[in-house]
Chain A
């Protein structure tokens, strides 16, 4: 059978059994099957004898049920009935869903005394920030990843963490949002808001010409005085308890550059998803982050690439004129179907090949489109088999 693309094969099992791998990050644009892939990798790694924790962000209900996650309680739960004992050890699977507000609250509670924590938790700006800012999810996913990693060292319940990334505007948000939020919280804007008295003398520089009063005046016009006040109070409270948000984000960022981490970029064989995957691959290279390869999901399954679309259509046409041949109508229909599938497969193959031309070294694993959705562990196992299969 002809492979879809001539790229090197991404050997999923080799990656999963490599004991030096401690973190696998699944990323890609929305709707390409990131969460399902992360879950399937988790199940397979446990079956290969690894003790795994899967951190999912926003799983579909049925997928969550498949992993036995009925509630969103922000704590890893043991998934019953998964894992085998092999020479690698006793396999097990923990899974959890991220609750970003809860994670943020816990960070505050862990670092501030009770009074100050209460002050922060009830601040209107904090409440809006912790529950709705698009970047909070990315930031908290990173935070949680850091926590799970320390827990791995302390408690030893898992030695491999598989992370699903949030459904962002762009896959790059996962890398950028934490730094953005961190630099905002540590940044000049906040210094000015929180220290108007010293602000005139520090940090503003030539902008002093504009006049600090005018600056805050404009901001009040845009935001309203009450918002500015809330932001100021929030930052003052949070700053004195555990400053260095940017530092925290940088620590996790460094963790992602470690050789114990691998990124898997996930895409569907469509122009948008592959373009996004391309951006991400370039970014990972630029930031020296270890890329394992690309998983291409939902590929048109095809078994007889030797019968081309044109041949099949021509044969179907001839068969429709042959009343003397049994099953001629049905066979003609099946040939038309095959012709369509071949056309889709050929288009997908071109798209994948274009990606490979741009990134020749990137290994690829393909997973055929399944007729039905995943409902249970058996379904996740099946996807794991397909991911690890060599014949793409």
Chain B
């Protein structure tokens, strides 16, 4: 079910990531990576397509965002995209993915409960280094590879709400991760299969950032790290940009008294606080913030990657906010 890039006539912009089927969304904690992944799924599903949004960290953040009951280990529709199209969601659980894997490759699903009693499932999914990640990324790759067979349950796009920037290279680079553990054998073969999707033009890793020093630094470092490991970097989603509301620059000649006078001309007065000064202070705080934003945006642009700028949603992120962000993405060439 791969659609042709020219099918969408909504925007004159060229598609940002033609040929990419697997979108991995990472970012520093607190930057809104789940929100961006969800909006990206909506944008990629629009115009009658099917997108699957995957959660791998068991936080049930997707269910909260779309206001649906907690997601099971089962693909199900969570939202309808603009202009037709469906967003499906799946919470991948390492244990279930292991049973899937056993069935798919060895027809051994029934051995699962015995293995669990012995503590072996626990070992593979939580203790053994790297195996958990192979299982999680392996599930994503299984879904992506359905399109090779034109399977009925194939998707146009798969979006992973992935671990944060600090752990993303390790999470995706399963080959390196298991190579210390298994030089050969079934796990190694499975890891190779996973890498054939992840380290290919079918995949793009996107990073979400805020325009603040720490997240931007982490983004720049993360990109270098991904590139050093030959992982395909897609774009940068700059989240929660504060609008430049104050059109005139606030210079020192602005008098609190003048602002207070303007306020009282429309009936706004206060006996307890100097309202003019309060508003000027707020304006100055805002200007410092927007100046910092512009400085950090430059650093982001210097990476040379596509940058998608998303506005700060004053009222928080609800379902309506997700569609708003999806529209901004569509306008930037996400399809």
Residues 267-292 of B, flagged 1 when their CB comes within 8 A of A and 0 if not, give 11010110100111111011011001
List of B residues within 8 angstroms of A272 by Cβ: 34, 59, 61, 64
List of A residues within 8 angstroms of B180 by Cβ: 124, 127-128, 132
Contact of A189 among B61, B118, B185 (CB under 8 A): B118
A344–B261 Cα gap in the complex (Å)? 27
> With A29-B29, A337-B245 in contact, is A169–B58 under 8 Å at CB?
yes
Are B262 and A326 touching (Cβ within 8 A)? yes
List of A residues within 8 angstroms of B58 by Cβ: 169-170
List of A residues within 8 angstroms of B248 by Cβ: 329-330, 333
Are B119 and A315 touching (Cβ within 8 A)? no
Main SS at interface, chain B:
helix
Closest Cβ of chain A to B209, distance in Å, is 11
> Hey, which bits of chain B sit against chain A, CB under 8 A?
28-31, 34, 57-59, 61, 64, 98, 101-102, 106, 108, 111, 114-115, 117-120, 122-124, 126-132, 163-164, 166-167, 170, 177, 180-188, 212-215, 217-218, 245-248, 250, 254, 258-259, 261-263, 265-268, 270, 272-273, 275, 278-283, 285-286, 288-289, 292, 314-316
List of B residues within 8 angstroms of A304 by Cβ: 270, 273, 275, 278-279
Interfacial residues of chain A within 21-40, with CB under 8 A of chain B in the complex: 29-32
A contact residues, total (Cβ < 8 Å): 81
Residues 294-329 of A, flagged 1 when their CB comes within 8 A of B and 0 if not, give 000000011110110001100100110010011111
A30–B275 Cα gap in the complex (Å)? 37
List of A residues within 8 angstroms of B118 by Cβ: 188-189, 192, 204, 207, 215
Are B213 and A330 touching (Cβ within 8 A)? no
Report if A359 contacts B (CB, 8 A): no
Are A31 and B28 touching (Cβ within 8 A)? yes
Most chain B CB atoms below 10 A, which of A132, A210, A275, A373: A132
Are A61 and B282 touching (Cβ within 8 A)? no
List of A residues within 8 angstroms of B188 by Cβ: 224
Are B262 and A319 touching (Cβ within 8 A)? yes
List of A residues within 8 angstroms of B106 by Cβ: 221
Contact of A31 among B29, B246, B279 (CB under 8 A): B29
Are B292 and A329 touching (Cβ within 8 A)? no
Closest Cβ of chain B to A166, distance in Å, is 10
Report if A94 contacts B (CB, 8 A): no
Report if A14 contacts B (CB, 8 A): no
